[in-house]
Amino acid sequence: MCYDAAIITNSPPWLLASYPEGNLFQLTQEEIQILLAREGREKLFLQGITLAGTKCLLIRDNLYTEGNNTMDLRTKGQSRGSQAVTVVQIESVYLVVMGQKGTEGGPLNLKAFEMAGYIKEIRFGDVCVCVCVCVCVCV
């Protein structure tokens, strides 16, 4: 179901952990800042967003909606087809999960939400745990 995963933070915009065999390790500070900015989010629907150099369309933005805290995107313009992407807020960090080709956004969103619950339980304080979560999500 999962092709790639990363854990990012907004203060400062930083990649904390990523799946070692994926592409999200290439997320830039600028991409993270745009993705997580609270101001001007309506522009993301019109302009899209780039994640690790891959252009994405914003499908649904509830990232800062209490109780939901998720965002759904889809990659575009790739030879291997589009992929669903889900971002879940977990207090001060965010889990980014990219699905395999053919994976629908709904099941990917559910998987990311479940992993976010696990991260909350362990209090995400250890970067090693974050890396393990990224690997587990993608297995």
CATH number at residue 57: 3.30.450.30
Domain hosting residue 122, numbered range = 2-138
Residue 126 has pLDDT above 80, yes or no: no
Q: Provide the whole-model pTM.
A: 0.88
What does the pLDDT read at residue 128? 47
Mean local confidence (pLDDT), 27-55: 95
Please say if the pLDDT value at position 8 is more than 80. yes
pLDDT at residue number 101: 87
Quote the longest CA-to-CA distance of the chain. 38
Cα angle for residues 126, 127, 128 (degrees, 5° grid):
90
Sign of the CA dihedral with 10 first, then 12, 17, and 22 last: positive
| Mean pLDDT lowest among 48-62, 66-80, 116-130 | 116-130
CB 73 within 8 A of CB 56: yes
Into how many domains does the chain fold?
Answer: 1
Residues in the chain: 139
In angstroms, the CA 107 to CA 51 distance is: 21
Q: Which residues pair with 7 in a beta bridge?
A: 17, 95
Residue linked to tokens 């001060």: 92
